Structures are given as structure tokens and as C-alpha cells.
Structure 1
Amino acid sequence: MSFSSLFESGESARNKSHFATLVSIAQSHDNMSAQETVVLERFKSKLDISDSDYAAILKNPSAYPVTPPTDSEERIQWLHDLFKIVFADHAMDDNEHKLLRRYATAIGYNDEDAKYLVDRSIEIFSGHLNLEDYRYLLNKDRK
């Protein structure tokens, strides 16, 4: 561990951990797609990941252990981010599905909740909504 990493903020460490998780999912199949790279670049900026950390994480994302979010709102945000990277190329393979379940558990959901949230999120992100859900989502924020 480097001297500077001893003084790294908790938020910075969580951001790197989360970004490494996103990279792991993007790299879970043979080649990262151009769309996944674009999404990772956006997350790099959003999570305030430096160029040197970006390169290091791309090279070895497993060097950054999962540091779970501290609250339920952040946990949902992370899960949403994971789905954004999975569906960046408009497809999800079995390996990505397994990783999503594993990461949902790693960030604090129990097995039952992780399964439900991942399965439901797949329905939402892949557009397989029934009419009632579609209507609810359309009118959710409408006054």
C-alpha cells in the first residue's frame, strides 16, 4: 500500500471500487465494446477517477475490492450504474448476469433481494414491461 493511499478519502476509495466493478463487468466478455468504453469514460468523469487510476483499474480491476455503499440510496444508484454498463451494448450474456447477482450481494443486498432486483432490472432495462408497469413509469413523476 502506498503512503498516499493511507490518506485516501472513503468516498474516493468507494468510487474507485465502484468503477473497478463497472470495468470488471465491461471486461467480462472477450472485448469491451465501443459503447461500453464510452459509458466507462462518462463514469470516469462522474466518479472523479484520475487518468492514472483509470489506466490502473482498466489493467487490473480485481485489485480494487468491492467497498459497499453506506446507504440504501447509493446502493440503488450503484445497481443502476451496473445495469447501464451491461446494457451499453444492448445485450447481456450469462456471465454478466452472474456478475450482477454477485455484485448486488457484495454491495449489501441479501440473496433473495439481489435476485429480485437483478431480475426486475433486467425486465426494465431490456424493455420487457407489462402495460401497468409501463404506465406507472410514464406517469411516476407527472404532477
Structure 2
Amino acid sequence: MPILDLYNHSEKRRNLAHFAAIASLAAVDGDVNDQEMKLLVKFANKLDITDNEFKEVMKKSNKYPIDPQNNSELRLERLFDLFKIIFADNEVDDDEMVLLKKYAIGLGFPSDKADKIIGKSIAIFSGRIDFDDYLYLINK
């Protein structure tokens, strides 16, 4: 088996695990609503998830582990995707926060850094950032 096949398999496994994490967050507050389902379909396309894989992940009993990325930018991208699914219904409930912290730690962020990143991300996604942060984001 060529080494390239191993890499592709590993990337596919990571994408599937990441999609399962997103789907779990979407379902944490009960049923997946229409808005969340549309976003899940987009993520499935982005992550090359097949129809069969999609159906398997959407079962209540899915048990895909979180597969952390080696690079911090990729971990932040995975976390960003999770925030997009959480804010699909424009609110973050307590169950989503618990799972979000669990996933952030599973992605490789230490607990204290996970709290800071989650807090800043919620401020950004909910539009509650102060001018200095806004200026920094615009200029960066």
C-alpha cells in the first residue's frame, strides 16, 4: 500500500470523526432542527462524507472519537466549525457548552486555554466584541 493511501485514509478518518463531533453538538439539545440539518449537509459535503457515512453518524448510537489535528490552526478551524453549528439556532445552551469544552479539550487545547478560546469565540459569534477586538480582527 502506498504511503499516500495511508495519508488519505487518515485524513478521511479525521474528517469523519470531526463530522461526528459536529453532528453530536447539533443533536445535544434534542432533535436536529432544519437549520442545523442544512448546515450538517454543508459540512458533509465540505468533509467528503458519503450518504452512508452521514446516515451512520446521525444514528443516536454513534461513537466516533475526536481526532485532534497536529497543527493549532487546523484545531482552531475544527473548533470554528463547531461554533458554526452551535450558532445555527442563534443560541448556546448549557449542554452545548459542556460538549463544546469537551471537544475543545479533545482537540488538544488545555482546559484554561479552551475556556479563553470558547469565551472569545462566543463573543465573536454573538456579536458582543468590544471595539479594540473588532479593530484587531479587521486589521489582521
Length-normalised TM-score, structure 1: 0.88
Q: 1:87 to 1:9 in 2, by over 3 A?
A: same
* Residue 71 (str. 1) matches residue 71 (str. 2): yes
Could you tell me how far apart the structure 1 residues matched to 2:38 and 2:83 are?
14
Deviation at 1:103, TM superposition (A): 0.4
Task: For structure 2, list consecutive stretches of 5 or more residues without a partner in the other structure.
Answer: 1-5
CA contact (8 A) 2:56 2:62 kept: no
Query: Tell me, what secondary structure is at the counterpart of 2:91?
Result: coil
State the percentage of identical aligned residues. 41
Task: For structure 1, list consecutive stretches of 5 or more residues without a partner in the other structure.
Answer: 1-5
1:39 alignment counterpart? 39
CA contact (8 A) 1:20 1:61 kept: no
Matched residues, number: 135
* Residue 50 (str. 1) matches residue 50 (str. 2): yes
Query: Tell me, what secondary structure is at the counterpart of 1:129?
Result: coil
Deviation at 1:7, TM superposition (A): 10
Deviation at 1:8, TM superposition (A): 7.3
Q: 1:101 to 1:111 in 2, by over 3 A?
A: same
Could you tell me how far apart the structure 2 residues matched to 1:78 and 1:101 are?
13
1:3 alignment counterpart? none
Could you tell me how far apart the structure 2 residues matched to 1:40 and 1:84 are?
10
Q: Greater shift after overlay, 56-65 or 40-49?
A: 56-65
1:100 alignment counterpart? 100
Task: Could you list the structure 1 runs, at least 4 aligned residues long, displaced by more than 3 angstroms after superposition.
Answer: none
Deviation at 1:138, TM superposition (A): 2.8
Could you tell me how far apart the structure 2 residues matched to 1:138 and 1:62 are?
40
Could you tell me how far apart the structure 2 residues matched to 1:64 and 1:46 are?
18
